[in-house]
Chain A
Amino acid sequence: MAKNLFRIAILVTCFALLTGCWDRRELEERTSVLAVAIDVVEGREDLYKMTVQIPIAIKIAGSSGQGGGGNSNAVKIMSVTGRTVTDAANNLQLRLNQKLFLGHTRVLAISEEVARRGIQDIMDGYRREPQIRRLMWPIIVKGEAASLLKIKPQLAQIPVVFLMDLIENGSKMGTIPDQTLGDYFVQTSNKSMEPFLNYVQASQTEVRWEGIAVFRGHKMVGAINDIQSWSLLQLRNKQRGGDVIIPLPGTKNGYVTFRPHFVKTRLDLKGQHGLASYEQHGHSATYYCELQGDIVEVTENLKMKPEEFIKKMQALIKKEMEARSSKLFTQLQKDYSSDILRLGLALRGHHYRDYWKKHDWRKDFKNFPVKAVYTIKIRRLGMEMQ
């Protein structure tokens, strides 16, 4: 019996070892797509144009002995059309010698025109596809989305790598929101908030981050520029945003530049618990935001004592930041009526009975009183004393 068992065991082991992986597909048998761009087709409402960027491994510098040379040939760009995104991908497959592989796709560029029409049906395909990572970056492109894939940045061989680094570095520095596909999914399904995506513009040789594309549901309703986006980052994500450059009052051409380093934000929701007759006037939201940072540039000598200077600058920056944030709130509430601040989530969490159940947040956000109070703490003046 034992001998027989031993034989069976050997047989099973052999079977297990001799078979290959069922799904085995070598790396060189796949066509990896690094980025996908989705555009509309001129004159055809029902079609999408999908453009993909495929890196050519042999031509990337370092892998060949010659060192690559120009970067123009390191990638192949292909465009196809289809009724849906998957249809377009299938059409693309017909033109490729190897199987299309989306597992390495890092950027999904969507043109503003498509985004304004709504991207629900595009996202559905990506939701179901297990190869797609939730960490992929969807980006809204001003103008044609394919232009983002066609840039020749010269600083990186593969254009998408340049773009990825741009976002990654930006989010590390706290100037660009790290808005992934997963975040978008969560924000669209959650009833208490609205989604947003990064908004860029591409030219022949470069790409520039323009701010944030604001959505309402799956439709893009507008964009906010970099300065307001930084305010959003400070209030929503507790990230520092970019430098604050303010003209010095009373001077001709003087500017002061403040660089925030640490951000502390606290959201204070006011409201009456248990007061049934109380309408929404009782509820308001205040962001208390504390910025710690340095003065990194003053282009005009103000001729005042350092203590006085700091006090004056703090007041100046505070005024500027509050003006910026109030502009942000006006844009979000009056122009777009889209709560990308995640204010609704906090409100649902903390004022469920007295506010959330009695109001329709999507309609009510417009008129909800929101303000931001900044505290500026200047820590250093750089290497200069004044």
Chain B
Amino acid sequence: METQRRFVSTWQLITILISSMIGVGILSLPRTVTTKLHEMGWVAPVIGGVIAIFPLMAILYLSKEYPGLTFVEYSPRILGKSGSPKLGRLLCYPWMFLFFSFQFLNAAMVARGFGEVVVTAVLLETPLEATLIGLFLIVLFLCMHEIDVLVRVNELLFPIMLIPIFLVPYVSLTAADWNNLLPIHIESWSDALKAGINTFSLYTGYELLLVYYGLVIPGAKIGLATWFGLVFTIVSYALTAVAGIVVFGYEELQLMIWPTLEMVKTAQRTGWFLERLESAFLAIWVASVFTTLGNMYYTTIYGLRLWFGKGIRFQRITALVLIIPFFYVTLLPQNIVQFFAYAQYLTHFGYVVSIGLPILLALIHWLRKQNVEVQEADSKKGGT
């Protein structure tokens, strides 16, 4: 069973990591990072990325300790005594609950954010629900399949997603004023740190690796994949922020809901057949949001399946049942202001789940291992 399950290659791991992290947040990124840091806004995603390194390393450490296992399987072993697996499982219930509910809510906010963009910018007369239902049906369809399908979908959509990431900075070069990036000067480091911590929410999605590390083929370079994925994401976020600042200046950015989209709208004489890039941009963007949303929702369902030790049938039914509350959670914010407020709350929740708990878990594991080694050493001493 376990040998069958391990099929994710290094490259696939990279695509999963990047496409889970880069989502709808990039559309409002230039505004959110410049609110406090002004022209130095591009520092915020870098700080956020540095923060994300710690939990990622914790996850990496745990996965190396338990190769071929997902966190659902190894968490009880870490928390419980080797003699009583029941206790470990019991202790894991809150952790599982927090993790899955965070994924669930985060996925809902990603979907809502995407819906808002589409409805305010392109399809003005379409109800939000119609856009969302379309998206959900595809996600649901994805959930009807085994996890290797999800992995392949990520791999397939990854190149498409790359286009906007590099297109946006390129397009903005025509209207750049580099003085907007100056002065290089940070007013207060506590503000910078705060902005970095807020930006950290852009990186949520990496915690899905708690599951996917367990699925990699033996010998895959998971460390390399992690570093590559993270650095790539940091660079593309920082580039987007720089592009936004250079084109608009930080004052103007504060007035725009989706600055990245506006940046595409200012694209001038790109020399292509498309007079207006924004529709093409959003069309590509669907792929990116779909992977983020799909990964989060699928992993929630798949994790539950693993937790209860059930088969694909359970997964299908759960996906179908959960999509209904999911839809309502998505529609919970009444307006765009509330949406951003909810997303902010979710960020705080995210610190607990995606930073706190993996590090805690790794720490517990490490301490217990030290303990065991000490005991072993003691027993050896006693033996000889």
Contact = CB atoms under 8 A, between A and B. Distances in A.
A binds B: yes
Given A22-B126, A182-B266, A186-B248, A130 B185 contact: no
Contacts of A345: 177, 179-180, 249
A186 B265 contact: no
Interface string B317-352: 000000000000000000000000000000000000
Contacts of A349: 179-183
Contact of A185 (B144, B182, B252): B252
Given A23-B125, A189-B252, A348 B183 contact: yes
A127 B120 CA distance: 13
A12 B179 contact: no
Contacts of B179: 342, 345-346, 348-349
Contacts of B182: 348-350, 352
A315 interface: no
A235 B368 CA distance: 69
B146 interface: no
A270 interface: no
A182 B252 CA distance: 10
Given A186-B252, A189-B249, A134 B120 contact: no
Contacts of B120: 130
Contacts of B251: 189-191
B255 A189 contact: yes
A5 B183 contact: no
B249 A23 contact: no
Nearest to A104: B275
B1 interface: no
Contacts of B276: 133
B126 A23 contact: yes
A9 B130 CA distance: 19
B126 A186 contact: no
B374 interface: no
B11 to A, nearest CB: 29
Interface string B238-254: 00000000001101101
A189 B259 CA distance: 14
A184 B311 CA distance: 60
Contacts of B180: 345, 349
A133 B277 CA distance: 11
Contacts of A346: 179
Interface string A198-209: 000000000000
Contacts of A180: 266
Contacts of A16: 134
Interface string A9-25: 10010001000001100
A127 B122 CA distance: 15
Contact of A12 (B127, B137, B185): B137
A12 B141 contact: yes
A359 interface: no
A311 interface: no
Contacts of A281: none
Contacts of B268: 135
Most B Cβ at <10 Å: residue of A182, A191, A346: A182
A327 interface: no
A367 B138 CA distance: 63
Contacts of A5: 144
A20 B122 CA distance: 16
B124 interface: yes
Q: B134, B179, B262: which has the most chain A beta carbons within 10 Å?
A: B179
Interface in A164-185: 180, 182, 185
A134 B265 contact: yes
B122 to A, nearest CB: 8
Interface in B161-177: 175, 177
B160 interface: no
A116 B182 CA distance: 33
A349 B175 CA distance: 18
A23 B123 contact: yes
Interface in B135-150: 137, 141, 144
A353 B184 CA distance: 11
Nearest to A188: B252
Nearest to A1: B313
A153 to B, nearest CB: 24
A22 B129 CA distance: 12
B372 interface: no
B312 to A, nearest CB: 9
A346 B137 CA distance: 52
B97 to A, nearest CB: 31
B125 to A, nearest CB: 5
Nearest to A182: B266
Contact of A130 (B124, B127, B137, B252): B124
Interface in A111-139: 127, 130, 133-135
B283 interface: no
A346 B276 CA distance: 32
A133 B265 contact: yes
Contacts of B126: 22-23
A198 B248 CA distance: 20
A5 B185 CA distance: 59
A130 B265 CA distance: 10
B279 to A, nearest CB: 11
Nearest to B253: A189
A186 B137 contact: no
Interface string A353-369: 10000000000000000
Given A186-B249, A189-B251, A350 B137 contact: no
Interface string B182-200: 1101000000000000000
A134 B276 CA distance: 11
Nearest to A186: B252
B121 interface: yes
A166 to B, nearest CB: 18
A253 B126 CA distance: 69
Interface of A: 5, 9, 12, 16, 22-23, 127, 130, 133-135, 180, 182, 185-186, 189-191, 342, 345-346, 348-350, 352-353
Given A23-B124, A133-B276, A352-B185, 9 more contacts: A22-B127, A127-B255, A135-B265, A135-B266, A185-B255, A342-B177, A348-B179, A349-B183, A350-B183
Nearest 3 interchain pairs by C-beta: A349-B182, A352-B183, A22-B126
5 contacts: A22-B130, A133-B265, A134-B266, A185-B255, A349-B179
